[in-house]
Structure 1
């Protein structure tokens, strides 16, 4: 007898006919959030920090809410809820694979995030592999490869130089295997990398290509087969599904031959007192109870973006990007950072400095005085920031500093009104200076004093509490932060 699940993780309200471009921005959880200012007012929150963690799509939350009553163990449970959950997990794997254009023979491994996925791939590399990457990469696409033989190329001055440098480096690789690990879009400047050309160069030299798509996937359509990439990693929290899911998609031979990423239940076929027969395919690297909610939320985000159309997403962001870059050029003292110049194609990420202002003060004042969330620091890309902003780094005392900057980033939930509020606030800040005092605490600038009341979230923050939460360490506050 054939079986059809009685639950669909795609709630009816989240499966309309594909909307037109005019339907953007899409509804996101927190889109109507109000936040306090240090001056006592309450204002609508403007989130321009999508590149760090994008808000949850309303359609994703609906899917998770639909799933949770059915949530149960996967793969071996006899209960009906377990059967349904197992089918949902498999359906989510197919959905995510389809979203990135996975080939029929590719393996789709659910992970925690991009960092986890790239570490998994690094652990599975065959012996005698040389990895080639660039100094412009996020730390997640630099540090895992340092455990083996690796070549780090300097920050290229153009896309053409990136292709030429990769070609030269791979031509000189004498190891049995080669891997070119490169980002799809810079998390610092938003600039798009020439992936098809890099993949062609790598394959001509007998190497494979791994793409860090953490920033690319929320902004552009991806087709692994058309790109010629061999592996791809992305994060749910960048893709409007902040439930702890990520994915590594790619060719299964290295993954099947590599040591299982985690040793434990689910990754085995058979265990004896003195031996183990490991599973192949995705289960080999998914030991333990998987994050079904993270996988389903990631799949729901992929489906929602697929229905709106990634071309519509790109067009929406291009309009916002044009407004942001034009507006920043009109603000005195603002310098936008780029590897390859202002005309290089990019996603909705813009990084800048303001002459005479520490980036931490700019970010803190935008938040505390205007209710606008941006990010400052070095964005987990220290070598790139040193190359881009070294000559414009704020003066510091005591030791070498990692240069910092301010980053605004946006996506499908961003409106033109959000962008205009940011530009107006920055113009006011540059013209008049901060209206509040700020001090450095744990590597970041914070209001002094900070009278903003915190919400009593599940009792974790006591209602009415103001200022910093006691007991936080500097490492809790400012990972990958530029030194102040």
Structure 2
């Protein structure tokens, strides 16, 4: 599989040219060639979706709905699940937050990405766990302590019909965007369902690196972004159970979400009576993002046909190469939540004692042509907590922000080695080789 931009020339501070090394996949992954090819193929036919009888419109409508099916298949959507196109994971989780039944209690963790931290109200916030077992036990205790809400008929665990409470939602990341650590989704889903709760997963960082299936795990809702999944064309999805989505007011009011609109007069006042669509269209008002949907589907199809185990093994080797190299550099401390040996995707965050994170990333960019991210990674409470922990381990103040390196398709051992070489030069200058 080929990603675009892996041979871009960049000019270093001394005026020399080198090839750019992209180690910022966790922010925005490069475009997969298959996504660009799919977009180029549909562009000559670009026309309205669901709104025309002409050949171009019919072709685009078919491509859009095929994309919905392909993406649903990629994440193991159940036959009755909705696949709703959104702009990104943040948009998808905000949609779900708007669709919750009145009085729903949301249970989550304090260490989530802001996309899965800020949309929710009436939240029970659990402390960041230090092990996977602690995450499961913490959820078990929190759900056991909740008062029993009114009963509501909802699907049971793993899609089996049953009567669950339906007014408690557990929200969790699939893989941390700060540390790359993978959360125990199967066990958390089982725990949630046993207590009559549903579970929503932020899969923005998980889906590009690991297979995930709603049908196999019983996850109730899943959100992901195309720009994390090698399809940077402005599309994401919310996939999950239909009942809450069909019962909620439309996420956006406008054309496409409506089945019929009629004026209603009251004296001089005019209003409108609206019959809203059910299904995904209910929450997809306006002209849809055809190109984003087609690009995302092309990536899903390409990854589904690939050997995901082999891709994960290659990525794991890169991550271990990076982590081992960082561990041997003076003054460098990796950020982590869980114990060593825990499964993780291709994301590693670290800090250098005495060197601001922004200076580290600028040094790598201007001296070595490497792109990384510095900051708090839209997960401020978590990153600040992990920096405090890392500072305690290092016996030094690591500063208020961190550096994140992330890998994916297109990353090579040479890219990792160039990063380690750049950091070795930086730390040698800072610590005199000690």
Instruction: Tell me, yes or no, whether TM beats 0.5.
Output: yes
- How far, CA to CA, are the matches of 1:123 and 1:66 in structure 2? 36
Structure 2 CA distance, aligned partners of 1:165 and 1:405?
28
Matches within 5 A, 1:67-466: 67-145=42-120, 148-174=121-147, 175-176=149-150, 177-274=167-264, 275-390=273-388, 403-433=400-430
Q: 2:319 and 2:367 mapped to 1: Cα distance?
A: 24
Q: Do the aligned partners of 2:333 and 2:390 also contact (CA within 8 Å) in 1?
A: no
Residue 350 of structure 2 aligns to a residue in which SS? Answer: strand
CA distance in 2, matches of 1:242, 1:33: 18
Quick one: distance in 2 between partners of 1:129 and 1:172? 15
1:228-251 per-residue CA deviation (whole Å, 9 max, x = no partner) reads 100000000000000000000000
Long gaps (5+) in structure 2: 151-166, 265-272, 393-397
- The alpha carbon displacement at 1:173 in A equals 2.3
Contact 1:328 1:334 in 2 (8 A): yes
Match of 2:6 in 1: 31
Deviation at 1:390, TM superposition (A): 2.2
User: Which secondary structure state, in structure 2, belongs to the residue aligned with residue 210 of structure 1?
Assistant: strand
1:279-310 CA-to-partner distances (Å, cap 9, x unmatched) read 00000000000000000100011111112232
User: What is the deviation of 1:393?
Assistant: 6.6
Q: Secondary structure at the match of 1:51?
A: coil
SS where residue 259 of structure 2 aligns? strand
3-state SS of paired residue (2:196): coil
CA distance in 1, matches of 2:63, 2:104: 36
Q: Quick one: distance in 2 between partners of 1:402 and 1:324? A: 22
RMSD of aligned Cα (Å): 1.5
Shift of 1:107: 0.2
Kept in 2: contact 1:336–1:353 (CA 8 A): yes
CA distance in 2, matches of 1:200, 1:429: 47
Inter-CA distance 335–203: structure 2 relative to 1 (3 Å threshold): same
CA drift of 1:340 comes to 0.9
Cα deviation for residue 402 of structure 1 reads 8.8
Checking the alignment, whether the CA contact within 8 Å between 2:334 and 2:390 is kept in structure 1 is no
Task: Kindly report structure 1 stretches of 4+ aligned residues shifted beyond 4 Å.
Answer: 391-394
Shift of 1:141: 0.2
Whether the 8 Å CA contact 2:22–2:372 is kept in 1: the answer is yes
Shift of 1:99: 0.4
After TM superposition, the score normalised by the length of structure 2 is 0.90
Spell out, residue by residue over 1:395-424, the C-alpha distance to the aligned partner (whole angstroms, 9 max, x if none): xxxxxx993111100001111111111111
Aligned length: 401
User: Is the CA contact 1:269–1:277 (under 8 Å) kept in the aligned structure 2?
Assistant: yes
Cα deviation, residue 342, structure 1: 2.4
Q: Secondary structure at the match of 1:273?
A: strand
Q: Would the aligned equivalents of 1:56 and 1:242 in 2 still touch at CA under 8 Å?
A: yes
TM-score with structure 1 setting the length: 0.81
Is the 8 Å Cα contact of residues 221 and 311 (structure 1) preserved in structure 2?
Answer: no
